[in-house]
Structure 1
Amino acid sequence: MSTVDPVAVRREEARRSAAPGREGAPLGFGTWAALAGYGGLWALCGFGAADAASYPVASAYLTEDRYPVNDTPAFLWALFGGLIAALVLGPSGPGRCPARRATHYGPLYAAGFAHLGGAAGLLYGARQRWVRPPREGEFVDAAGVVVGSWGGGPWIVWTAQWWVPALLLVVLVLRWVRAVRGHRARHRREARAWEVIRTGRRVSGEVTDVSGTGVERDGRPQLDVVVRFTDQEGRGRWVTKRAHFGADADGGRLPRAGDRAVVWFDPLAPGDQRAIPVALCDRRGDVEESLRRGELPYL
């Protein structure tokens, strides 16, 4: 017989996984295999898209007497099959890949495999299925006579087999750069919060207002929580914090007006909302125990 409440354990695990800035467990073999399969579906979709585009692409740089047969693309099933499978499986599987390093990185594991798979599928499909021009840069008829030179349009269309996959990779790199910057900004905010907790002033606070933003993530609504506290001069101040909350994982109910709170602030900058950590007592349990475990309060 277990001496630990399994419901409490599940709530604690869910709360830890949802806490901003917390590291997740290393990704296991099953997760990597699912991610690879997810990327493979997008590669299949990319290959099908390249095949479906072979006729309109060829009509841009070939003379009419060299057009390929305009039949139903042989790999049209790959385009729709890969796309539908990726869209259906993504939100329930690899698309919900847990964060290894903070909330900024988690979704990018699946996105990275999707971008890489799509780029590889497009490139390979174009190399295999597109009709190569007799001579790059010139229109050549079936008799082998040069009848004109390519303009910008044919060059753009023919080189799409390279620049479209490259564009997908550039977008992926930009997303990773944004994630890295977001993670570093989060790290700086956490470091500042710990500094205020250690050296600032601690006072009691009270939730005065809770409002929804209309945004929801994994069934957890995003809320704006307004907390009132009194600074060192006896002046009333209000701080607004925005976060996602889940009733099951965060103490049984959503925050509401009248909830008790603990507020830390820097006496030299009591109006700097970014440097005011807040703990909602009715949801975090023992605040002191949370701090001893190295867990930041709700920010």
Structure 2
Amino acid sequence: MTSSDVVTEEADAERVAPPVLRCRDLRKSFEGTAAVNGLSFTIAPGETYGLLGPNGAGKSTTILMVAGVLAADAGQIDVGGRAMTVRSVRAKRAIGYVPQETALYPELSGRENLRFFAGLYGLGRAEGRARVEDVLDIVGLADKASATVKTYSGGMQRRLNIAVGLLHQPELLILDEPTVGVDPQSRNAILESIEALSAAGMAVLYTTHYMEEAERLCDRVGIIDRGALVAEGTTRELTGLVGEADHVRLDATGDLAAAAEALRGLPTTRTVTVGPDGLDILDADARTALPDLLAVAAGAGAVVRSVAVEEPDLEAVFLHLTGSRLRD
């Protein structure tokens, strides 16, 4: 076996790695009204999956079922290959659940809080103390560990709440609106911590009302509305799904009319508009097409001074699919 064969086999193994979370046809109703209606999705090791939806779409109900807090009416949830129910102790051990509300003891220090929860997780004294220091580093609170939690800012308390969820080294971390109401410094610290955890191989289920967070963190996004998954994919896949195009602005002089006519002949170009200071182009895939756009414009007599590209975002997709903005 050659070294290239070994690399190929390792790559194949990574591609077929089973998902950490698998949800199949989840259903839950309250008093005859469907809150979750046939929801299915998976999360792979090292993947951050964003679950987005308007208020009342079924996000919270889904999270509670995944965490084993709420029983599903139908469907199946597997975490790390173990079936999840409200009585599934082994499956629950694979989850770190960080709810919106902080659950901390204000009169204790950050370190004392973590040591208490380490005991609840069943960690031995030496292991627990080591994990406490590890998670304090992860969330950036090592220098504040001896201060009482009542002196922490709201953002620091949320970071400590995340640290609690990491103590037992879960396979899946569930984060429900972790940055609501926090200061910018803590918010950035939280996002950096999540990025590091994902890079280290942890699967993350993430809900947020901040679209820029989803775009920054999430490898894939599932958009739910009225309890059903209406779209799923990367940001690029989702924007392509609803026909959104990239906006390319060429600040240019010269024969702009000829350049516009030539650019309209490119396969991914949708529209070209001539303005007083250049050209505005809508293109299906500016990342790939930009070299051709510049070459064709120059070849037709335009002198390009600068280029700006604005890609479509998740907000436009969300509005198109649900009829509302994420924060409505």
Fold equivalence (TM over 0.5): no
Given the two structures, how large is their TM-score scaled by the length of structure 2? 0.23
Larger Cα Rg: Structure 1 or Structure 2? Answer: 1
Relative contact order (C-alpha < 8 Å, sep 6+): which is higher? 2
Given the two structures, how large is their TM-score scaled by the length of structure 1? 0.25
Task: Report which of the two has the higher share of strand.
Answer: 2
